[in-house]
A and B are shown apart, each in its own frame.
Chain A
């Protein structure tokens, strides 16, 4: 039956004479489709002789030709040396000991080279001092292959030769002397005896020479305090392995506090040994790595820190200090800390990060009073020597026009000075400006000459890291570019024809070695001498202000200096990944997630939840789960910067934090230009600024690798207990093996009776296990970068990280407690009953506490003996080896990703794209220079395959092969993975559990040992050691 219904398409149809309806009847598209726009203009189209058919023919032919061509392999060329260096055997790695001293990081390291290319940085086990590479030092090898490095000397942007450079600059220096103007050497802290000697020779020759040492992130207050007290411009050296009670007031000593490098000593006493471990109390405003590891953490504002330190002084040392009252819980914490310190006596130590001479003096005085064993006065640190006042005076002098020449090395004041515009103004009045620089950066782009500087892996050098503790820097590759060291130029300017290498050798022979062999020192990379060299005094021009040293005065002065009129106190800090920002163009470090916020590619204003709510600042999650935030305007003394906001659990109320090292604009790739420059707020070299904050709206996209913050009371992931329980109760109370019901009998999941799988016999040969001690792990992340370097893990970029496509084989999960402690979370979860309660309380547990407990947990492939991934692979691309490693054959993988779905630990990573040789991922794998860092023993994976931690099978196989070739058995300690070798804190141990005498076999039998998600029954070959917190209050 036909219908007469008329369907109206619009009201317009009611109007019978509507032109629109008529037009639509005729034409589907009312407007002509602009074909010209995408086809090209008419004329060209008509002129061309290519018809549509021809076009299809071409397409067809080229497709066929391409596919036919693909059937033939490429011709590969093999080009041997003309004369092969005797020390190089192709395919065999050489190791060289050297030292990084870039003004921020000082460490003795071992450089692994292959066919003459440095490819990895490792710890130098022979070094007594700073033999441990942190994440930045591990990543520094990539800086060598930075495609944006300056390739030769230049003058006003024009390339010149070194001869021209030398003659022109020498002339300019002479005329500066003639004009009676100052010559200034503005450098990083070299801590180099030979450089100091060279500079004094330079001073002799030119007369009006001033050497200004400039640390981007200043430790001037600590240096001044130490100098006033001990007549030596150095930093107090602490050996935390000798401290059992550690009180830190605002010192991030596991991070970069006073040059860093204290973490391995600290970790030694963190592992309970015979029922004892150290107790660590942290007073701080930002949530730092150190605070996260503390047994007790007290959040308080920077001005409260000063009061707290003064009060601690009066309670430990005595003497009255009139200080304002602090909230009761802080007062309580201070008095408990004081009594514990007193009880600990010489086993106690107090450190502070407050940039105030009085505060630093107070800390020194307390340690002196305690006669602290950890306070090593004999060998103070020399890794920071900068003087704020000298830098400030320099800027003033430059503006006044009294500086005739400025030669800079290792510094970038235009980026790191808060008054950079003053510096730029002054620089214009200087006749000769030279920057020894790796990059055309903010500073070197403004100077007359850019002197292309070599990377430290191409340089000679020496460092006195601590008094009497020397280290040598030697080149591990011939300079890639036409570069010269600052010291070589100094030699030329002083008319010395020797090379810097000869100069060092001579200087060492006469002053340092005392008859020992230079070659031995070069081989070891370090030398501990009986004779200390004089530290060059770079503070001579500063009129020394009277620092009050009599006992108690410093504390009183400190307490009196507290002013608390500001709305917010901003604490500027450095991230363990980015430091002072000189490696900002390093994609490994950009993608390295901050241990606490787990956010990569950014810096941000850390705000407490309470303050964020008050200011209307929010963090939101978008549909993909990625984190977004709005911006805040931060104003300090009239300088305003717009920063994205990160709500940080543990941030003290009334305080905010912001990291240095980001917001660089020159000398780095566009992708790497992330974050904001916090140095703009670093006024007067004070890392604490009083600021005002207002919401600036907007939407900022963060790239976070971990989007959930709490454990939700699932104590079987990070097992925790307290020292008291650990010492007094049986293992089953604090590290029980989960049970299942078998015939109504509770049976441990480790029992073969409840296992679905047949057990393989792994008792013959090697059986590798990796042990991770959650007590020793500080979350520093050196292992993450070491894994990157060893295994050619690609960098995917901010956008991809936001999509959770990060490729880290090894991640360090960070968990906050939702209650005061993780124990509280467990109790809360256990007490949930009923639907209503579970709905409300579980969602409460998603939020971290205002001052949470923090736990770090490195997670890599667990190499399960009963691996869920292996059973679901349709092509058997992942299979188990007898040695306990879960193998992954990339060439066999077809990319179904079933394995990743079935992995309970979420450690498998999928290559969504081709990350190498692809300009869409402009990091380092797409240029010839960057690819030189790749490890030739590990495959570079292609698109569409799954990858994961291999337990460094290339390293274990190499160890086995070496033993086979030598015809010997393998000793414990020979087997290593990249992460275990990089861990200087003793948190990761790797070895063969079939060797019953091995360390890891013993750890497997340890009471603290547990497996991650043991209840799943996967029988992993990675073990964890239960975290024990020393909560015992004195």
Chain B
């Protein structure tokens, strides 16, 4: 059997895993970050600007180097210091190396050849465009001391909580006050009644005995009209609820399964503003949006091995780093050796958006031709820590959109003639999808 399948659907016979709603913490915890401001090391002879150095580093070096971890190239924290201490090489050597590493290797420089062989003969790209001053700046940046890991400010948490509970208390007070009021009212009425009876007996008026009267429920039961009305009411009500129950079968709006690897769309699409179609590239040309294969993940994650963004107690840095580790395992990537060590194992994602088999839906029609935003159907993906099904995906929902949305005919020669003729026929400026024939059964069911 051919093993390499894209989105091989496996219908599991067990029941649907209960949808778990992880309530997104509404109270955003406030963290105070202790920012360790940069201070330059006094050891350097020539001072550079670490801020400029950082941007230069990110632009030129970050593809292969990080400060604290060996990647395609060695880690660079305090590189100058280390070179000076271990090898006795000065900054001039570094200038020469960066501007023309291949040349140095050729010239037989001992350390240059050593490092070249250590990284299995992968020569560093030459950067002749960097001036000495630029390199100074970069070195200044590398000489910065390591930042303390961002620790959530625990002091801030209670205040947040207090703010949250204070809202609850005020509600309770109102409710409590109302309850006391009702109790007082009931007691008052009871006392009034008692007093009146006392007056009545004192004046010799006989109070009718309660037991002789027909109890209310009996009267109710005897009243056929009321019974009929009640029966109809209950029947209608139960029919309403039963209908409601049946209508939601198979509709999984809000379906939010826990995946094998915690993938946060919020971090990728929201914080880092990665285009949806960078990963879901087949949405442009195919009927499926395509779940990105792991090599697409590794395009970035070869160099992004840790998470440095905002964290919460639930999703800590350790948690996210652990998930990146899971990705490495699945892709067969060894972070230590910086290379693929095995074939990897495909990730079994749980499919969230499941259209029935009898519906033909084409992403490229909607994404490329109509130019719709992904969010139109998939909701605020950029805010979703855990992906969930935003739309009901019912036929009514599709039809509603087809009735109200105009066809995007701009600069599309296919539509020119047909749009002109049809809009004249219907007497409108812009045609809806429905008017183009987008409600015909056979357009989606075949």
Q: Say whether A965 contacts B16, CB under 8 Å.
A: no
Q: In the complex, A879→B250 CA distance in Å?
A: 26
Q: Say whether B12 contacts A77, CB under 8 Å.
A: yes
Q: Say whether B9 contacts A76, CB under 8 Å.
A: yes
Say which size band chain B's interface belongs to: 35 or more
Q: In the complex, A389→B16 CA distance in Å?
A: 68
Closest Cβ–Cβ distance, residue B16 to chain A (whole Å): 5
> Per-position contact with B for A67-84: 1 when CB-CB < 8 Å, else 0?
001011111111111111
Q: Is B440 an interface residue (CB 8 A)?
A: yes
Q: In the complex, A311→B445 CA distance in Å?
A: 62
Q: Is B223 an interface residue (CB 8 A)?
A: no
> Among residues 87 to 121 in chain B, which have CB atoms less than 8 Å away from a CB atom of chain A?
none
Chain A: CB-nearest residue to B440: A881
Which of A79, A85, A877, A967 has most B Cβ within 10 Å? A79
Q: In the complex, A929→B417 CA distance in Å?
A: 46
Q: Say whether A80 contacts B362, CB under 8 Å.
A: no
B-side contacts of A892, CB under 8 Å: 441, 445
Q: Say whether B13 contacts A74, CB under 8 Å.
A: yes
Which of A77, A877, A879, A969 has most B Cβ within 10 Å? A77
B-side contacts of A75, CB under 8 Å: 12, 14-17, 257, 350-351
Q: Is B344 an interface residue (CB 8 A)?
A: yes
Q: Is B67 an interface residue (CB 8 A)?
A: no
Q: Is B208 an interface residue (CB 8 A)?
A: no
Q: In the complex, A938→B344 CA distance in Å?
A: 33
A-side contacts of B364, CB under 8 Å: 961, 965
Q: Say whether A90 contacts B7, CB under 8 Å.
A: yes
Q: In the complex, A74→B250 CA distance in Å?
A: 10
B-side contacts of A879, CB under 8 Å: 440-442
Closest Cβ–Cβ distance, residue B341 to chain A (whole Å): 13
Q: Is B249 an interface residue (CB 8 A)?
A: yes
Q: Is B358 an interface residue (CB 8 A)?
A: yes
Q: In the complex, A969→B416 CA distance in Å?
A: 9
Q: Is B411 an interface residue (CB 8 A)?
A: yes
> Per-position contact with A for B401-421: 1 when CB-CB < 8 Å, else 0?
000000000011111111001
Which of A72, A75, A88 has most B Cβ within 10 Å? A75
Q: Say whether B7 contacts A79, CB under 8 Å.
A: yes
Q: Is A882 an interface residue (CB 8 A)?
A: yes
A-side contacts of B62, CB under 8 Å: none
Q: Say whether B290 contacts A91, CB under 8 Å.
A: yes
Q: In the complex, A478→B3 CA distance in Å?
A: 9
> Among residues 418 to 442 in chain B, which have CB atoms less than 8 Å away from a CB atom of chain A?
418, 421-422, 425, 437, 440-442
Q: Is B6 an interface residue (CB 8 A)?
A: yes
- 14 of the cross-chain contacts (CB-CB < 8 Å) are A78-B7, A78-B291, A80-B347, A83-B295, A84-B296, A89-B282, A883-B437, A937-B287, A938-B446, A953-B446, A965-B285, A966-B414, A968-B413, A968-B414
Q: In the complex, A259→B295 CA distance in Å?
A: 48
Say which size band chain A's interface belongs to: 35 or more
A-side contacts of B421, CB under 8 Å: 763-764
Known contacts A968-B414, A970-B414; 16 additional CB pairs below 8 A are: A74-B12, A75-B257, A79-B8, A79-B349, A80-B290, A81-B294, A84-B295, A90-B7, A90-B282, A92-B285, A115-B5, A879-B440, A879-B442, A892-B445, A937-B287, A961-B369
The 4 closest A-B pairs by CB, nearest first: A887-B442, A91-B286, A84-B293, A90-B6
Q: Is A891 an interface residue (CB 8 A)?
A: yes
Of the residues B356, B412, B415, B425, contact of A891 by C-beta under 8 Å: B356
Chain B: CB-nearest residue to A74: B11
A-side contacts of B2, CB under 8 Å: 116-117, 477-478, 480
Q: In the complex, A791→B253 CA distance in Å?
A: 32
Q: Say whether B252 contacts A950, CB under 8 Å.
A: no
Q: Say whether A79 contacts B12, CB under 8 Å.
A: no
A-side contacts of B345, CB under 8 Å: 82
Q: Is B1 an interface residue (CB 8 A)?
A: yes
Closest Cβ–Cβ distance, residue B440 to chain A (whole Å): 5
B-side contacts of A970, CB under 8 Å: 414
B-side contacts of A477, CB under 8 Å: 2
Q: Is A531 an interface residue (CB 8 A)?
A: no
Q: In the complex, A877→B358 CA distance in Å?
A: 13
Q: Say whether B16 contacts A80, CB under 8 Å.
A: no
Q: Is B360 an interface residue (CB 8 A)?
A: yes
Q: Is B330 an interface residue (CB 8 A)?
A: yes
Chain B: CB-nearest residue to A885: B442
Q: Say whether A77 contacts B422, CB under 8 Å.
A: no
B-side contacts of A116, CB under 8 Å: 2, 4-5
Q: Is B380 an interface residue (CB 8 A)?
A: no
> Per-position contact with A for B328-343: 1 when CB-CB < 8 Å, else 0?
0011100000000001
Question: Which applies to chain A's interface (DSSP): helix, strand, loop or mixed?
Answer: loop
Q: Say whether A967 contacts B440, CB under 8 Å.
A: no
Q: Say whether B442 contacts A967, CB under 8 Å.
A: no
Of the residues B292, B415, B417, contact of A964 by C-beta under 8 Å: B415
Q: Say whether B350 contacts A85, CB under 8 Å.
A: no
Of the residues B293, B294, B442, contact of A888 by C-beta under 8 Å: B442
Q: Say whether B412 contacts A967, CB under 8 Å.
A: yes
Q: Is A890 an interface residue (CB 8 A)?
A: yes
Q: Is B288 an interface residue (CB 8 A)?
A: yes
B-side contacts of A963, CB under 8 Å: 414
Which of B4, B17, B344, B437 has most A Cβ within 10 Å? B4
Which of A85, A90, A763, A892 has most B Cβ within 10 Å? A90
Q: Say whether B287 contacts A91, CB under 8 Å.
A: yes
Given contacts A84-B6, A882-B437, A887-B445, contact A964 B365 (CB under 8 A): yes
Q: In the complex, A938→B360 CA distance in Å?
A: 8
> Per-position contact with B for A959-985: 1 when CB-CB < 8 Å, else 0?
011011111111000000000000000
Q: Say whether A887 contacts B286, CB under 8 Å.
A: no
Q: Is A954 an interface residue (CB 8 A)?
A: yes
Q: Is A889 an interface residue (CB 8 A)?
A: yes
Q: Say whether B4 contacts A765, CB under 8 Å.
A: no
B-side contacts of A763, CB under 8 Å: 421
Q: Is A761 an interface residue (CB 8 A)?
A: yes
Closest Cβ–Cβ distance, residue B26 to chain A (whole Å): 29
Of the residues B14, B369, B437, contact of A765 by C-beta under 8 Å: B437
B-side contacts of A890, CB under 8 Å: 358, 445
B-side contacts of A74, CB under 8 Å: 11-16
B-side contacts of A478, CB under 8 Å: 2
Q: In the complex, A892→B440 CA distance in Å?
A: 13
Q: In the complex, A169→B424 CA distance in Å?
A: 78
Given contacts A91-B282, A967-B413, contact A78 B445 (CB under 8 A): no
Chain A: CB-nearest residue to B415: A964
